[in-house]
Amino acid sequence: MTMTTTLPTTQIVPRFAGGERIETWERPVTAPGAGELLLAVHANALCGTDRGQLSAGSSVTPGHEAAGEVVAAGTGTATAPGTEGVVYLMDFCGACGSCTAGATNRCVAKRADMGFTHDGGYGRYELVHETNFFSVGADLPADEATLLLDVMGTTAHAVRRAQAIQPQIESVAIAGAGPVGLGMVAMARLLLGPEATVVIADLVRYRLDLAERLGARAVQLPGDSLGVALAAAGIDQGVDLAVDTSGRGTARRMLLDVVGRGGALVCVGHGEGLDLNVSADLIRPERAILGSEYFRFDGLAQSLALLRANRSYLTQIITHRFRIDELGEAFRVFLGGNSGKVVVVQ
């Protein structure tokens, strides 16, 4: 093992105690073993899925959108201390059928979900396997590097899932203008081209205004109608792609009703169900409904190239930055809705 500096054996980090209380606790700083890296975390982005841990409490340190610097490397690794990068949520096995096919997001023998089953990115240090660390280079700030994960990776994967069904996507409808929905707007325009029409629906005006700055047409619910907005955009035969990032059953139903013949609804947000009339909703119009879980590790390289080429555009999605000791305030702002992506730095 090679170390760049003498490391502490413990760290004082945020503890999600339940009832939306954030306290602190002492956690170990473990020297990396074979195939492992120890990171000094520089940034972690807040995510809506953190809400469950904030409410119920967590037996580990949460945080699954981390970026940082390697400070120690275990035996058998090729990543030098000082390397900057991001942590892929799923500590995939690399050996199952899904992994060997490149579908690391569908690994059937995951060793961990970072921040959910093992200590994550709200700590000062995070221990990861080298296989779920992606190097980004020293020139990309850590807060911006977090965009590669849920904001870009998850949404780019959803677009590619749809393209397998409908290669020519010219119109997109999105439900939910949270960080993933905003990322969906950006990646739809970057991957499909600026001529693609993107319409997004949400309840929160702040996020819709940001979506409009990213190039989408906004529909403010419950007053406005998604169907009316699509007709005004010249889309009267339904959209080629609809994406639900909200996890709401009503949103999924709203979207499916505006998917055109041969189009696809992609469900990204976990949550509620969807009532179907199989003949009317699927068979006759030959629509497809797809699930899209996180993204493949091999998609990070393309996302990094897109981020480097479009930094000023994509970094608009990050609207607030807080220090780690301001984590409670960061969540207050984030869960209040008047924000885009919120990042804590340390």
The reported pLDDT for the residue numbered 1 is 40
Phi, psi torsion values for 186, nearest 5 degrees: -65, -45
The reported pLDDT for the residue numbered 6 is 84
Location of structure tokens 């520089």: 42
Q: CB neighbours of 277 closer than 8 A, spacing ≥ 6?
A: none
Residue 254 identity: M
The reported pLDDT for the residue numbered 4 is 46
Q: What is the mean pLDDT of each run of 10 residues along the chain (346 residues)?
A: 70 97 96 98 97 97 98 98 98 98 98 98 98 96 98 98 95 98 98 97 97 97 94 94 97 97 97 96 97 98 98 98 98 96 97
Please state, in angstroms and rounded to a whole number, the distance separating the CA atoms of residues 64 and 29: 18
Determine how β-strand 133-135 pairs with β-strand 84-87: antiparallel
Bond into 179 cis (ω within 30): no
Phi, psi torsion values for 335, nearest 5 degrees: -75, -15
Can you list the domains of the chain with their CATH numbers?
A: 2-150+296-345 (3.90.180.10), 151-291 (3.40.50.720)
CB 74 within 8 A of CB 135: no
Backbone region of residue 169 per phi and psi (left: phi > 0; alpha: psi in -120 to 50; beta: other values): beta
- Other C-beta atoms lying within 10 Å of the C-beta of residue 329: 15
The reported pLDDT for the residue numbered 271 is 93
- Distances 254 to 17, 202, 235, 238, 261 between C-alpha atoms, Å: 37, 12, 15, 12, 15
Among 155, 103, 147, smallest CA distance to 266 is for 155
Please state, in angstroms and rounded to a whole number, the distance separating the CA atoms of residues 16 and 78: 34
Among 301, 34, 258, 276, smallest CA distance to 156 is for 301
Please state, in angstroms and rounded to a whole number, the distance separating the CA atoms of residues 245 and 223: 20
The reported pLDDT for the residue numbered 5 is 61
